Structure 1
């Protein structure tokens, strides 16, 4: 494993052209940070207006038009990435027309470690495309402030080509091995995130049922071992009962399903992750799947 900080990277030059596909809540601030770093950037989004709102980029009419040397995808799951490849408007056709040799496809979404390893091998064998899985941690706030943690897997040479680019929107960049390794680290991250979100929601439910001031309780938690980035970023949601937007419960369950798949492939039993999976399944069954995952508070309250 290699971990680099922005200071250690000393901002080396970025070699090759760059595109970003998917200008949603995470992709848009990442794109803005890349442009702020002086790097020319091509954008494509299924809803063009979202890409058009990002000043300074060139807009592509199709994934083929965004086929650059390094293509960053910031999409919900692997099927959305796979859908970008085929057809006259797909990335493969675009790379072929441009004569691009050994393009790098970066997957920033949270995907199955098992599936992305297989996808990376398919891309390498069939089309000469190198896949780097590089999921993100830090949320939309971290993306906007350029302080994401990026955990990567893939061929070392391809990863090192991406490091200067990653440094424009991340403050910690770590390489863990071949394609799929980054997503396995993200699975570990998501166990902690899901557990912390749920634990904080349970604490607030107990405090509310006991007639306590939630802001005061959170202030005490923040001063001790119970403090966390989840509390910093999400605590106010629980006070305000505002669960709109943010990281959805559906995505949290998707991550927990990937964790179960990876644990099964590794022969590891994860009782807490299994319990969390059941709680989020209950939340989604109640119709709250589009809420921020802190909305698990509503499920706990019954």
Structure 2
């Protein structure tokens, strides 16, 4: 059997569109997913479905998984990637971690796998599902120079903006910074909506004005329709946003830094998840902000101008 040059593990909301774009550009791709049926459409388009992670081991293997525990689960054991690389006699394989994971834990994984000849590149993504589908993702890259050079042609097919941030873990640190801005923007926009509606200002009018001026952002462009329809099903979850903000807190503590804005927005997302909204899109932080504002008075007031 000929060993495929590239494989992708994890066909969730981000993984599937990334796999589709890679398959189109490369003409061949091996995929694996815990629920194999999620690969049906890709297989129909020409992808090869691996029965196990070991069967998906390739010289360049991408993982689009939620956390580092998920990555380690596909690495180890009799059906894991480490066994697969050894069985296929692949020397110096590259493991690309596209998920947003702890930068400090990622460095530990890099050191562990370096001892067995596997190079780890951290390459978290920004741009959401829309960016994955259009190819407009930003890819924040950390790792050893030689490994990054070998994987560069694949990374440039995953995203439009590929920036090498530094050594192992640097990509994840940049992603943590990105998540502070994303979560802060979501929370600030939520407060703006609550304030405007407290004075009877139409939500759609507010968001249209904001999107046409200095307050415009990709966050607003992607989340506007959710706020207008009060539809928070699917999308990037509030639980994952909280996970990322906890990484930020750990990084800040490790460097003896105080980040009051990051702390405040983490508390808002802690409350959002506590109220069983963790599976909702992270724009659902509006519900928490609105409830907080109302709870500080006898209830929300609507003042006429």
Could you say if the C-alpha distance between residues 107 and 279 of structure 1 is closer, same or farther in structure 2, counting changes exceeding 3 Å?
same
Residue deviations 1:246-273 (CA, integer Å, cap 9, x gap):
1111000000000011111122111110
Greater CA drift, 115-124 or 200-209: 200-209
- Please name the residue that 1:209 is paired with: 198
Structure possessing the higher radius of gyration over alpha carbons: 2
Mapped partners of 2:17, 2:65: distance in 1: 14
Alignment of 1:98-247 (within 5 A): 98-125=88-115, 127-247=116-236
Cα pair 1:204 1:238 within 8 Å, conserved? no
Task: Provide the secondary structure at the position in 2 that maps to 1:245.
Answer: coil
* CA–CA distance in structure 2, aligned partners of residues 43 and 153 of structure 1: 24
Aligned twin of 1:36: 24
Distance in 1 between residues matched to 2:258 and 2:215, nearest whole Å: 26
User: Which residue of the other structure, out of 264, 271, 277, is the alignment partner of 2:253?
Assistant: 264
- 1:12-63 deviations in Å (ceiling 9; x for gaps): xxxx700000000000000010011134110000000111221210000000
Moved over 3 A (4+): none
In structure 1, how many angstroms separate the alpha carbons of the residues matched to 2:37 and 2:198? 45
Q: Which has the higher contact order (CA 8 A, sep 6+)?
A: 1
Report the counterpart of residue 290 of structure 2 in structure 1.
301
1:217 CA drift (Å): 1.0
Normalising by structure 2, report the TM-score: 0.92
Moved more, 19-28 or 200-209: 200-209
Q: Give the one of 14, 17, 23 matched to 2:5.
A: 17
1-structure distance, mates of 2:33, 2:196: 43
**Partners of 1:208 and 1:45 in 2: CA distance:** 44
Name the structure 1 match of 2:38. 50
State the Cα distance separating 1:163 from its structure 2 match: 1.4
Match for residue 96 of structure 1?
Answer: 86
Looking at structure 1, the residues matched to 147 and 194 of structure 2 have their Cα atoms a distance apart, in angstroms, of 47
Q: Which runs of 5+ in 2 are unaligned?
A: 292-305
Count of aligned positions: 286
Q: Distance in 1 between matches of 2:119 and 2:140?
A: 17
Gap regions ≥5 residues in structure 1: 1-15
Please tell me the root mean square deviation across aligned C-alpha atoms, in Å. 1.0
